Amino acid sequence: MYKRINRAHARMMGSKYAPHLCGNVYFYAVEEGTEVFVEIWGLPLYQPATDKNAPISPFGFHVHEVGLCQGKDSDSPFTSAKGHYNPDDQPHGNHAGDLPVLFSNNGYARMSFFTDKFRVKDIIDRSVIIHQNPDDFRTQPAGDSGTRIACGIIKAM
């Protein structure tokens, strides 16, 4: 018998670039889409852009294709999660997995938002990734949001 999936959760873990990062992302089925609730601790503190480096924060935030969070200690962590979740082959900025950036307050971020780009059942066993830099929502294919600093696998609740 078919079981309706109304809720999902991803427990976030940091990479070597944010080793103390932890938190949760919850997904709730609501009429016409999904409500997302995020609470994260241990984000790197803001650093302004320089001639050589992008700013650290606000943080790019996406649902990625694959639910694997391998390589947390590598120089390119969590590449096992592959690219953004994009079932309709849209340009970046309109991927189903493109989520609002996370704004940190002394390492803490909390937000809630609605999306109609996916249902909870569509993202089970995919991953959530937090990137070190802000997403510009235009650079193809992924918004130039930099190193992956955290990952969590989305599981049904």
Among 94, 93, 80, 74, smallest CA distance to 129 is for 80
Task: Read off the pLDDT of residues 90-107 as tens digits, 9 standing for 90 and up.
Answer: 988 889 999 999 999 999
Task: Say if 139 falls within a structural domain.
Answer: yes
Q: Is 96 a domain residue?
A: yes
- 132 in a structural domain: yes
Residue 127 belongs to a domain: yes
Tally of domains within the chain: 1
DSSP-assigned letter for residue 2: -
Least confident of 8-17, 86-95, 108-117, 136-145: 136-145
C-alpha atoms less than 13 angstroms from C-alpha of 81 in its C-beta half-sphere: 31
CA distance 150 to 13: 5
Q: Write the CATH number for 59.
A: 2.60.40.200
Does a structural domain hold residue 1?
no
Q: Tens of pLDDT along 98-137? A: 999 999 999 999 999 999 999 999 999 999 999 999 988 7
Flag whether 66 is in a domain: yes
Dihedral sign, Cα of residue 57, residue 61, residue 66, residue 69: positive
Residue 2 lies in a domain: no
- pLDDT, residue 5, reads 83
Q: What is the DSSP string of 32-95?
A: TEEEEEEEEE-PPPPB---SSS--B-SBPEEEESS-----TTSSSTTGGG-SB--TT-PPTTS-
Q: Which domain covers residue 146, as residue numbers? A: 7-156
Written as six digits, the tokens of 91 are 């340009």
Answer yes or no: is 84 within a domain: yes
Residue 3's pLDDT band (boundaries 50, 70, 90)?
Answer: low
